Amino acid sequence: MSPGSRTAWNCALWCLRLRSAFQTILACSIVYTTTLYGPQPLRQLVAYPAYSYLTTILIVSDATLGDSLRGFWHALCACVQVMTLSILSLLLIGPAHFSYFISALAVALCTFAVALPGATHLMAKRIAFGQIVIVYVGTAIHCAEAGELVLMHPIQVALSTMLGASASVMAMLFPNLFFYQKASVAAFLSPYLAYHEVRDMCQKYAENARKRLNFYSDAILSQDSSAALGFILQAQPLAQVGEKLLQSIKHKQEALMWERPKLRNILKPTCMDLGEKLQDIEIPLRGIAIAATSCPSFPVALIKKVQPDALHDMKRRIHDKLEQLEHFAPLCILKKKKKSLDESFWPLETIFREDLLAFFFLDCLKLLQENTEAVEECRESYSENESSHGSENQSHGGIKWSWSISCIIPSKTSLFFAVKCSVSLGLAVLLGLLFNEREAYWAGLTIAISFVRGRQATFTIANARAQSTAMGSIYGILCCFIFRKVENLSFLPLLPWLVFTSFLRHSRMYGQAGGISAAVGALLILGRRHYGPPLDFAIARITEAVIGLICFITMEILIYPARAATLAKHKLSLSLGTLQECIKDVVLFDNQNNMQASIFPKLRQKQKKLKSHVNKLQKFIEEAELEPNFWFIPFNGSCYRKLLRSLSKMGDLSLFMSNKTEFLSVVLQRCEVDSEDLQKPLKCIKNDIELFKKKVETSLQCLQELSSKKSLAVHDKHDIELGTSPKANECRCLETEKDEMECILNSFLQHSNEVSDRVGTNTEGEDQKLKSQVIVCLAGLGFCISSLLREVREMEKEFQELVNLENPSTHVIV
């Protein structure tokens, strides 16, 4: 990254963090002013300012107006749920009968009831968990005031929650002022909208895609290796940024829906899932990156045969459409139109092995051109037909106000989540009440906002929360000491602290959990009054927080006893199995149209499944690197990351391979495939592909068996070196029988040239266009075959390294 780009990136990052901090300060100021200086009747109703602050921090962190509106709705849902459950239980049992044990049991049962439905959003559950803790701990503490507790206590908790949610929305309605980077006066004075953020991210992604295309194409067109390597190195960090931008765009889609419920006035129905549509641009860019990084030497031979004007013209058209993506947003993704290569590329009639990479590059450029030409500027006025169609799609794709029966019925994951939350909170409340009745709230509140569905880095999150809680509390105590004579100014030291925590939330060491805990720790001391000596409160709160975190860690370990390292091994095995299925289902042309129609949709589903497995594997690897090893074998994160890269690349190659076989099957159906002279080489190509699939599947199956072992160091009958596995000798074919694989590839190229010679024998335009399509597809298919074989060999070496690291006394030779 150049110094100018790095400076611009740092400025943009600072602007984002300062804007988030400003919004947090504004929302907390509203809560502070209301709870300390508001009318007396209002202050009596919002009797729990601590929970108002907590709700505010949960909602307003890195939020837009749409996010805050969604958070307000979740807070309202939580209030309805908790008020219904708590008032019924208080009426049935009576506040006077709520001992410590009964209160803890009530917390556990109500938490279970709230956590069980799968349709409720996690934010609503977290807010409801905190309300449950406050209601029942307060009942246990003030059980003597039985008459007031039945209705007034739950109402006070609900109103305190809604104060925090309302403050978050009001803070988002404040104009952008100095924190918006665009020169538009309307945007400058408008609230911070997800609409603006999605538009900015789309523009940044378009610019990112354009730069990557330039770098990778310049690398392939380079005349020497050093210049090409420089271009590739500049493009690699841009690829990571592009992936993060796509994830952010997908993340903000729901917030966009909350800001503008009638999206048909802004977006056409086809762009409701903008992130998925932009993925159509990302996929060919990844293919171009694979081509650039796979080139053994420069310059690329075939590129010299292509007219430079033809390549530049194709790049120019792609650039023009990407510039539309930069200047007009939100975007509308229309149905793409299939295109063929320009006539300048038609003379490329013979496929040589050294030209496979160049053909694959040209095919990815063609695919990128197709997908970018599907990007058009949105129009605010549509025909009545489009509007009615948009309204229909809106009802299906927008905010769903009704729950289906399938959403209400709990799944196994929801059941585990409910048990984990209920037992953790119930135990934390009971131990907290036994230790310190007055501050027992914090044992439950500390973990109420920590729960997630599924697994998480338990020890890392608990450590971050404990450290950040102590940090925020100590900062609050020091500021109270400094401002002890001017109590009305005690809120001022919170301003720099909230700015600091906005950066802390995005740090690797503390993350969101640590940043939120640090902000709340200081707010509870500096943002309230009449809670006793600050030092005593801080010590008691930290102790209660540790009690809650111990309960949290204990239940996480009991519910999910498997370590992240073990899950990473299991997910690696599943990914290898799914990759086998993807390669196995790659089929080239069959006269049975029904079979063809059924195979390719199933293959696309398997490829999505593979992508899901790879994403989860990445999550488990990140978690395993953070968890403590204790007495277990240390987790080899570097080896797993190499395997992850290989799996991701092989997944992309299998996707390209399936796309080319599907397209080639359609194109060949337009030819006279029943003719004997064309059937013979086609049959040979099928045999070559089947032999390739058998070789790769055998190797992947052997690696899958090895990865499914409890420890990769234990490989007795699967020992590849000793060859005792019946699959082992086959698994070594890619290395020991390398000549055979060379023959398969050479045979495929020979038969591909025979097919291309028999297609488009006439010199007319349509026949030549058809022939160019067949040649480019077959060459791209050959590149995928050779790259997959090479990547399998790399994966075997990575497995060898992993086995040797887990058991240094055993050296496996693959």
Per residue in 418-427, pLDDT (tens digit) is 999 999 999 9
Examine the pLDDT at 672 and tell me if it is beyond 80.
no
Task: State the CATH number of the domain containing residue 742.
Answer: 1.20.58
Evaluate whether residue 255 is within a structural domain. Answer: yes
Tokens 């694979």 locate to 290
Can you say whether residue 530 is alpha, beta or left, with left for phi > 0 and alpha for psi between -120 and 50 degrees? left
Assess whether 777 and 793 both reside in one domain.
Answer: yes
Task: Identify the weakest region by mean pLDDT among 133-142, 181-190, 298-307.
Answer: 181-190
Asked whether 165 and 55 are in contact (CB, 8 A), the reply is: yes
Examine the pLDDT at 159 and tell me if it is beyond 90.
yes
Distance of alpha carbon 472 from alpha carbon 527, whole angstroms? 12
Which of 187, 74, 195 lies closest to 123 in space, CA to CA?
74
Within 10 A of 474 (CB to CB), how many other CB atoms are there?
16
Q: Could you say which of 559, 576, 594 is where a domain stops?
A: 559
Alpha-carbon separation of residue 632 from 413, 566, 636, 637, 701 (angstroms): 27, 11, 12, 14, 27
Q: Return the higher-pLDDT residue of 494 and 716.
A: 494
Mapped onto helix, strand or coil, the DSSP state of residue 406 is helix
Q: State the Cα torsion 717-721-724-727 to the nearest 10°.
A: 90
User: For position 267, what pLDDT does the model report?
Assistant: 41
Distance of alpha carbon 637 from alpha carbon 650, whole angstroms? 20
Examine the pLDDT at 195 and tell me if it is beyond 90.
no
Distance of alpha carbon 598 from alpha carbon 577, whole angstroms? 21
Assess whether 547 and 630 both reside in one domain.
Answer: no
Which of 751, 759, 605, 775 lies closest to 680 in space, CA to CA?
751
pLDDT in tens, 603-655: 778 888 888 899 889 988 988 888 787 777 888 888 999 999 999 999 999 88
Assess whether 107 and 165 both reside in one domain.
Answer: yes
Class of residue 354 by CB neighbours under 10 A (exposed 0-12, middle 13-18, buried 19+) = exposed
Chain centroid to Cα 367, Å, comes to: 25
Assess whether 526 and 572 both reside in one domain.
Answer: no
Domain count, the chain: 3
Q: Could you say which of 509, 536, 559 is where a domain stops?
A: 559
Evaluate whether residue 638 is within a structural domain. Answer: yes
Mean pLDDT of 463-481: 88
Evaluate whether residue 606 is within a structural domain. Answer: yes
- Amino acid letter for position 800: Q
Distance of alpha carbon 729 from alpha carbon 721, whole angstroms? 9
Rounded to a whole number of angstroms, the distance between the first and last alpha carbons of the chain is 39
Provide the token pair at 449: 């906002």
User: For position 352, what pLDDT does the model report?
Assistant: 78
Asked whether 212 and 242 are in contact (CB, 8 A), the reply is: yes
User: For position 763, what pLDDT does the model report?
Assistant: 55
DSSP 190-243: S---HHHHHHHHHHHHHHHHHHHHHHHHHHHT-SSHHHHHHHHHHHHHHHHHHH
Examine the pLDDT at 506 and tell me if it is beyond 80.
yes
Provide the token pair at 585: 């289902």
Alpha-carbon separation of residue 484 from 497, 517, 522, 538, 649 (angstroms): 18, 24, 15, 16, 61
Assess whether 753 and 612 both reside in one domain.
Answer: yes
The DSSP symbol for 303 reads G
Share of the chain above pLDDT 90, in %: 18
Alpha-carbon separation of residue 677 from 182, 673, 757, 777, 809 (angstroms): 63, 9, 10, 20, 58
**Boundaries of domain holding 86:** 11-179+411-559
Assess whether 435 and 484 both reside in one domain.
Answer: yes
Tokens 């709870």 locate to 35
Asked whether 237 and 5 are in contact (CB, 8 A), the reply is: no
Mean pLDDT of 295-309: 69
Assess whether 497 and 525 both reside in one domain.
Answer: yes
Mean pLDDT of 225-238: 88
Examine the pLDDT at 114 and tell me if it is beyond 90.
yes
Within 10 A of 419 (CB to CB), how many other CB atoms are there?
18
Assess whether 146 and 78 both reside in one domain.
Answer: yes
Provide the token pair at 764: 């007319």
Distance of alpha carbon 776 from alpha carbon 768, whole angstroms? 12
- Amino acid letter for position 468: S
Mean pLDDT of 212-229: 86
Which of 564, 572, 600, 573 lies closest to 585 in space, CA to CA?
600
Examine the pLDDT at 590 and tell me if it is beyond 90.
no
Chain centroid to Cα 148, Å, comes to: 47
Question: Average pLDDT, whole number, for the chain?
Answer: 78
- β-partners of residue 377 are 331
The DSSP symbol for 633 reads P
Distance of alpha carbon 643 from alpha carbon 626, whole angstroms? 19
User: For position 167, what pLDDT does the model report?
Assistant: 94
Provide the token pair at 278: 């932009």
User: For position 721, what pLDDT does the model report?
Assistant: 39
Asked whether 171 and 23 are in contact (CB, 8 A), the reply is: yes
Distance of alpha carbon 753 from alpha carbon 766, whole angstroms? 19
Distance of alpha carbon 310 from alpha carbon 303, whole angstroms? 11
Evaluate whether residue 766 is within a structural domain. Answer: yes
pLDDT in tens, 521-578: 888 888 887 777 888 888 888 999 999 999 998 888 888 877 888 888 889 999 999 9
Examine the pLDDT at 752 and tell me if it is beyond 70.
yes
Evaluate whether residue 130 is within a structural domain. Answer: yes
Evaluate whether residue 540 is within a structural domain. Answer: yes
pLDDT in tens, 53-81: 999 999 998 888 889 999 999 999 999 99
Assess whether 470 and 612 both reside in one domain.
Answer: no
Distance of alpha carbon 163 from alpha carbon 46, whole angstroms? 8
Which of 125, 9, 745 lies closest to 410 in space, CA to CA?
125
Asked whether 282 and 242 are in contact (CB, 8 A), the reply is: yes
Q: Name 260's Cβ contacts closer than 8 Å, sequence gap at least 6.
A: 195, 266
Assess whether 630 and 570 both reside in one domain.
Answer: yes
Share of the chain above pLDDT 70, in %: 78
Assess whether 19 and 166 both reside in one domain.
Answer: yes
Signed CA dihedral, 352, 357, 361, 366: sign only: positive
Q: What are phi and psi of 294, to 5 degrees?
A: -95, -5
Evaluate whether residue 117 is within a structural domain. Answer: yes
Asked whether 433 and 137 are in contact (CB, 8 A), the reply is: yes
Q: Return the higher-pLDDT residue of 414 and 734.
A: 414
Examine the pLDDT at 661 and tell me if it is beyond 70.
yes
Tokens 């611009």 locate to 8
Evaluate whether residue 457 is within a structural domain. Answer: yes
Q: Name 777's Cβ contacts closer than 8 Å, sequence gap at least 6.
A: 363, 660, 663, 664, 667
pTM for this prediction: 0.82
User: For position 722, what pLDDT does the model report?
Assistant: 35
Assess whether 421 and 461 both reside in one domain.
Answer: yes
Can you say whether residue 753 is alpha, beta or left, with left for phi > 0 and alpha for psi between -120 and 50 degrees? alpha
User: For position 199, what pLDDT does the model report?
Assistant: 82
Residue 256: band (very low, low, confident or very high) from pLDDT cuts 50, 70, 90: confident
Task: Identify the weakest region by mean pLDDT among 34-43, 87-96, 227-236, 314-323.
Answer: 314-323
Chain centroid to Cα 418, Å, comes to: 24
User: For position 684, what pLDDT does the model report?
Assistant: 86
Provide the token pair at 66: 């749409």
Distance of alpha carbon 478 from alpha carbon 466, whole angstroms? 18
Within 10 A of 803 (CB to CB), how many other CB atoms are there?
24
Task: Identify the weakest region by mean pLDDT among 181-190, 400-409, 542-551, 702-711.
Answer: 400-409
